[in-house]
Amino acid sequence: MVVDVDICGLKIGDEHPVRLMGAINLSKESFYKGSVVSTDSLLDVAQKMVDDGATIIDIGARSTWPLAKPLVSKEEELQRMLPALEILRDNVDALISVDTVYADVAESSLTHGADIVNDVSGFTADARMADVVADHACPAVVMASREIPGDPIGMDAIMESLASIIARAGSKGVDTDKMILDPAIGKWVPEKDPIYDFETMDQFESLKVFRKPLLAAISRKSCIDAVLHKPAGDRLYGSLAATAIVVHKGAHIIRTHDVPETRDVVEVARAMRSRQSFVKKDSFEVSVIDITHPDDAEYLMKGIGVTGSGARVMKNKTVSKVIHVKNITTTEALIIKQEMLARGGDAALERDAVSHETDKTDVLIIGTLLQFEKLVRKLSYQARKLPLIAEMIAEALEQDMDAEYRYQREL
């Protein structure tokens, strides 16, 4: 389960340093004007990024910002991209990534020295992109997308999208071991509220179930503006705060406009990230996996060949919860304990309640999501206040999975 991938000679994974991808825009249409670089200064800017710690340089010759105007043709994108690659090729000690959604641009760029394709459409904008990546056997960054770049809304949709992209890419001959996943942080579609980016960053560790390098592109994005209400040029510190969170939760690559500042934050956050338990002996491997959402378990099970129906049946057995119910009667608490024990779970209550020496008690209910589902159904038909308690347990579990409840607040 430990990620350990060789990307054109650069080691990326859980046991390696978090890599920095320096973003350079050749497109004056970019949302962050401070990232736009002229051809004359390109080599100096790229070299400084490398000196400051970047091991990948990402070149964009056409803004992927949804509100960018005017739209740039493939021909103009190539006219910007190819001279830049000629300047950088063999002159900077870093991998070169090209940020494009077009197969023609990617193919020409790869023949002019690019190492990686960064497709924010996840191979959906151009049907030939996956074929180009497969033919060149090159690494690719794929961003969560269904029909247009970044259109999945919410972590469930992001996970589903990435799983689909990986499957389609594999069917076209892409080496999926060389794919790098980007969960599409940012307001890629108008209906995407910042809370969904907060959810993605908070639940970034869910992406680990794909067992692939994870990239976070947070730098100066609109979700930072939603909190700070500042223009892109003033979002550095907000970007660094978000970066620390995703690094702590498992990001392997950070795409940034601000390499030296990000490097310091990444090094500290990486030092605080705990290592995954992993034992390898002979041909065997054993690792401990933390599952926080049942859907993550479903993707993980499918990844080892479990049938879809089997994964759906078992996923709610993989996540355990502890629920605190306050101030219920001793009789109600003992019924809850008995019902949970009958389902393989348990419940803890104060000693005096067990011996009926108190009328009221708190109870800690311990079990899997599946056990709680069965408990709720059973309690719904019981006497006393147990149907109300069942309703409250169900509501609390629903809130725990609801992005709007968890992240919506006045900003």
Task: Answer whether residue 411 shows pLDDT above 80.
Answer: no
Pairing of strands 253-256, 278-281: unpaired
Question: Are 305 and 325 found together in one domain?
Answer: no
Q: Is residue 262 very low, low, confident or very high in pLDDT (cuts 50, 70, 90)?
A: very high
The sign of the CA dihedral 355, 358, 364, 370 is positive
User: Which residues, including other chains, have CB under 8 Å from residue 46's CB and lie 6 or more apart?
Assistant: 22, 24, 57, 88, 92, 94
Question: Are 254 and 296 found together in one domain?
Answer: no
Distance CA 158, CA 181 (A): 10
Question: Are 329 and 254 found together in one domain?
Answer: no
Question: Are 260 and 169 found together in one domain?
Answer: yes
User: Which residues, including other chains, have CB under 8 Å from residue 376's CB and lie 6 or more apart?
Assistant: 390, 391, 393, 394
Question: Are 124 and 175 found together in one domain?
Answer: yes
Nearest to 19 by CA among 257, 271, 214, 236: 214
Domain of residue 294, residue span: 288-315
Distance CA 187, CA 227 (A): 14
Most confidently modeled range among 21-30, 127-136, 219-228? 127-136
pLDDT tens for 9-65 read: 999 999 999 999 999 988 776 666 566 777 888 999 999 999 999 999 999 988 776
Question: Are 223 and 364 found together in one domain?
Answer: no
What CATH number should be reported for the domain holding residue 174?
3.20.20.20
Q: Is residue 1 very low, low, confident or very high in pLDDT (cuts 50, 70, 90)?
A: low
pLDDT tens for 102-117 read: 999 999 999 999 999 9
Amino acid at residue number 108: S
DSSP state of 125: S
Instruction: Establish if 282 belongs to a structural domain.
Output: no
> What pLDDT is attached to residue 73?
82
Q: Is residue 6 very low, low, confident or very high in pLDDT (cuts 50, 70, 90)?
A: very high
> What pLDDT is attached to residue 70?
60
DSSP state of 63: -
Question: Are 191 and 293 found together in one domain?
Answer: no
pLDDT tens for 118-129 read: 999 999 999 999
Comparing 29-33, 148-152, 382-386, the range with the smallest average pLDDT is: 29-33
Question: Are 57 and 91 found together in one domain?
Answer: yes
Question: Are 187 and 233 found together in one domain?
Answer: yes
What CATH number should be reported for the domain holding residue 350?
3.30.1370
Query: Which of the listed residues 244, 273, 302 is the one where a domain comes to its end?
Result: 273
Query: Which of the listed residues 273, 301, 335 is the one where a domain comes to its end?
Result: 273
Pairing of strands 95-99, 116-119: parallel
Q: Please tell me the total count of domains within the chain.
A: 3
